[in-house]
Every structure is written in structure tokens, then in C-alpha cells.
Amino acid sequence: MGFLFVLAGLGAVLGGFTLFAGMLLTKSAPQEAASAAMAVGFAVVPYVLARAVQLYLAAEQAKKHNADVLDRLDRLCRSQDQSNSMPLTAPSSAPADPPAKPFKAESVWNGLG
């Protein structure tokens, strides 16, 4: 991957040199346009190639990651299905707490008024 970006950097330097030399050494506007087009080609084509490879590798890595996440989710769903099919345990035989007495607001204010 690094090689492609080094190649893109060299293409940019070569394109800059081509543009500079084309502006100095040409004698007409069509020749300048042709040298400018060649300079753009030298700079852009290696960069586009490097970015395309980079995006392809990132997409492959994302596919692998997504497959891993999907596999983990499948295992989680299977484990939950297995735990739901297991029989429930009987509730403990400890007595329940008695219900709390309802709060009466007037009992707080007794003797304050």
C-alpha cells in the first residue's frame, strides 16, 4: 500500500516538473495545453490507483468485520434460545414481605397547627 502512495508522490513531482518545463519550453498555446494535460495525467492517475486500492482494502476489511459481528449475533441468539427452552426454577419458599401500610399525609401534620 505504501508503494502506491510513493508512486503517487513521484507522479505528482513528475507532473509538476512536466508542467513547469512545458510552460517554459513550448512555443504555442496548444503545446502548453498538451504539456499541462500530460502533467495532470502524471499526477492524477497514480493517485487514483492508490486510492482505489485503499478503498478496496477498506471494503474487504469492513466485510470481514461485518461477518464477524453477524457470527457473534447468531451465537448470542442461539444461546438465548437455548436458555429460554430450559425449565424455570421453582420460586424460593421464603415468605414474602408484608405489604407496607399506606402513607397518610394528615398524620405528619398532627399537632403542628
pTM over 0.85: no
pLDDT of residue 88: 58
Q: Can you give the three-state secondary structure of the chain, one letter per residue?
A: CHHHHHHHHHHHHHHHHHHHHHHHHCCCHHHHHHHHHHHHHHHHHHHHHHHHHHHHHHHHHHHHHHHHHHHHHHHHHHHHHHHHHCCCCCCCCCCCCCCCCCCCCHHHHCCCC
What average pLDDT does this structure show over 86-99? Answer: 63
pLDDT in tens, 55-75: 999 999 999 999 999 999 999
Q: Residue 36 contacts by C-beta under 8 Å, 6 or more apart in sequence?
A: 19, 22
pLDDT of residue 93: 66
